[in-house]
């Protein structure tokens, strides 16, 4: 959809009643940066979510990653468990089924996952990755996808900066040694449809922003400003990008970290696995999350006390069970 059409939709009075998040073609930024940035800001101010196209990540690259994921999660539990690590916050390797739960949720999510992160020998807080030897394609597939999503995340952050009246490279020195984490998610088949657990209970993401290489199955839902759960249909070739809590804090809530969930399918669909791959971009640990001055005014008074990225991350990881 052309950016001019999107901009009209975002500005029209019925926008809040649309039943799908907006989609933005990032190549429009090169053609008309000002108009694209306006549409981008309007989309994220309203939804905190948007689909991104024009990202140059090839379908074959994504398919290879999903195939490698399916092969890994099909392994016996005792094999997968060899790749659990003691990395802080379970930020590397395998995390078993039932480990994580959403903040304030009573029940664990119905998922297992594997973490691949940024490696930088100069940054002691970044752990080394571990790679399952049983799946020959695993390392190459996810190193490739990680690099592509990392590049896209930097492009998107530059547009966020411009939309906030900041220099386009504002975030570069604030994420150059931060954790960037690829989470390879598997939601196993559901055999008991009466259980109270969801595949992923309602939650907000912790980080600056998330890029989601989404599942081909339904289930992802976003909570609109009206309080409706809006299903997100994954359009082929689209990567979902959403605001995380840290960017919400920086912007004093102007850019919302929107609540979302993955609901359980019904009927025959419940007996199928679901896979998705989110990429979480974090700032450097010592980065201040104090609200940007231009986001604080009489109409939007200061909402959040100052903290650092590492302090906030540790607090949230304890709440979801990844730090004891």
Nearest CA among 50, 54, 130 for reference residue 86: 130
In which element (H, E) is residue 140 found? helix 138-163
What confidence category does residue 19 fall into, taking pLDDT thresholds of 50, 70 and 90?
low
> Are the C-beta atoms of residues 104 and 217 closer than 8 Å to each other?
no
Opening angle at CA 147, ends 23 and 282, nearest 5: 75
What pLDDT was estimated at residue 215?
82
Question: Across the strands, what pairs with 200?
Answer: 262
Distances (CA, A) of 149 to 37, 54, 320: 20, 13, 25
Would the pTM of this model clear 0.85, i.e. be above it?
yes
- Which tops the pLDDT comparison, 17 or 262? 262
- For the chain, what is the mean pLDDT? 92
DSSP 285: T
What confidence category does residue 315 fall into, taking pLDDT thresholds of 50, 70 and 90?
very high
CATH class held by domain 3-13+21-319 = mainly beta
Residue 3 confidence (pLDDT) above 60: no
| 3-state SS track over 2-52 | CHHHHHHHHHCCCHHHCCCCCEEECCHHHHCHHHHHHHHHHHHHHCCEEEE
Q: SS3 for 230? A: strand
* Burial (CB count within 10 angstroms: exposed 0-12, middle 13-18, buried 19+), residue 236: exposed
- Which tops the pLDDT comparison, 273 or 9? 273
| Residue 142 to residue 161: CA distance in whole angstroms | 28
Summarize the confidence of residues 133-157 as an average pLDDT.
Answer: 98
What pLDDT was estimated at residue 214?
83
| Residue 274 to residue 271: CA distance in whole angstroms | 10
Residue 100 confidence (pLDDT) above 60: yes
What confidence category does residue 75 fall into, taking pLDDT thresholds of 50, 70 and 90?
very high
């Amino acid at each position: 959809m052309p950016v001019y059409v999107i901009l009209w939709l975002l500005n029209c009075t019925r926008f809040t009643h649309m039943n799908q998040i907006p989609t933005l073609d990032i190549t429009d930024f090169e053609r008309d940066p000002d108009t694209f940035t306006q549409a981008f800001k309007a989309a994220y101010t309203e939804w905190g979510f948007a689909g991104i196209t024009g990202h140059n990540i090839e379908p074959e690259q994504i398919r290879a990653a999903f195939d490698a994921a399916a092969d890994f999660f099909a392994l016996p539990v005792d094999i997968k468990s060899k790749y659990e690590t003691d990395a802080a916050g379970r930020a590397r390797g395998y995390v078993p089924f039932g480990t994580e739960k959403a903040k304030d949720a009573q029940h664990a999510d119905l998922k297992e996952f594997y973490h691949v992160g940024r490696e930088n020998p100069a940054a002691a807080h970044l752990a080394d990755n571990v790679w399952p030897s049983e799946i020959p394609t695993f390392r190459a597939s996810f190193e490739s996808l990680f690099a592509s999503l990392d590049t896209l995340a930097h492009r998107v952050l530059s547009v966020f900066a411009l939309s906030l009246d900041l220099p386009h490279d504002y975030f570069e020195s604030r994420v150059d040694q931060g954790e960037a984490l690829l989470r390879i998610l598997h939601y196993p088949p559901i055999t008991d449809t009466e259980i109270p657990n969801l595949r992923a209970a309602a939650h907000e993401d912790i980080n600056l922003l998330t890029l989601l290489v989404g599942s081909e199955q339904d289930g992802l839902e976003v909570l609109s400003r009206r309080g409706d759960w809006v299903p997100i249909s994954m359009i082929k070739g689209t990567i979902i990008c959403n605001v995380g809590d840290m960017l919400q804090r920086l912007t004093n809530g102007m850019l919302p970290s929107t609540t979302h969930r993955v609901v359980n399918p019904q009927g025959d669909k419940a007996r199928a696995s679901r896979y998705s791959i989110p990429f979480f971009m974090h700032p450097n640990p010592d980065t201040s999350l104090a609200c940007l001055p231009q986001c604080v005014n009489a109409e939007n008074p200061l909402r959040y006390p100052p903290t650092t990225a590492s302090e906030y991350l540790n607090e949230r990881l304890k709440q979801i069970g990844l730090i004891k």
